[in-house]
Amino acid sequence: MGDCRYLGQAGVYRVASELSLRQISVYFPSVDVGVDLITSTGKRLQVKTATIRNRVSQPHLGLGYYLSFGWEQHGNKQRAVRRGRTYSSEVDLFVIWGVDEDRFWICPASIFDGGQGMLLRPGKTGGVIRKGIAQHVYEYENRWDLITANQRLPHVPALPLCIVPTIESEPVSQLMLPAE
């Protein structure tokens, strides 16, 4: 499907669209530090996007939505290094979008802590691979209520307005700076 960054960003916009349809405002952080969206309900979201495919390294697992996470580029070498990441300290929820079937799983971030990958199959249970222990995420399909639960963000007072004095007696042409 091409460059995965485009697919990932499409997932962020797709989730934002779904939340907007549910009358939840979304905010896009100006810098990606692990949080893809912040909602008006105060939830910090990490969005993951996947298409149905067969995993080349493990074809016996069959078709499914495969996600890898907890990896990073190591320097300017093109190899990935596994890192144990505590997602629950960064975000509240993962929202996984299965593109091919337009399916969503909204999961607590804590179940991904230290994880490295996940397989979700259409109509079947899937789980997080974590040190040989699978934690199922199938039950979190369409759990939009996890985003709408709890309270809204606290009210932030508006900044004071900057009042610019006006000169009503002078025509606009006389207020312009002379050309140099």
Per-residue pLDDT tens digits for 19-76: 999 999 999 999 878 899 999 999 999 999 988 888 777 777 778 787 777 655 555 5
How many angstroms separate the CA atoms of 11 and 147, rounded?
Answer: 17
**Which of the 8 DSSP states describes residue 178?**
P
pLDDT digits (tens, 9 = 90+) for 65-121: 877 776 555 555 445 555 677 889 999 999 999 998 899 999 998 888 877 777 777
Q: How far is CA 35 from the centre of its chain?
A: 6
Considering Cα of 75, then 78, then 83, then 89, what sign does the dihedral take? positive
CATH of domain 4-175: 3.40.1350.10
SS3 at position 102 = coil
pTM: 0.72
pLDDT at 60: 73
pLDDT at 132: 42
Q: How far is CA 23 from the centre of its chain?
A: 18
Find out whether 8 and 2 touch, Cβ atoms under 8 Å: no
Q: For tokens 């960003």, what's the residue?
A: 9
How many angstroms separate the CA atoms of 13 and 49, rounded?
Answer: 11
SS3 at position 145 = helix
**Which of the 8 DSSP states describes residue 100?**
T
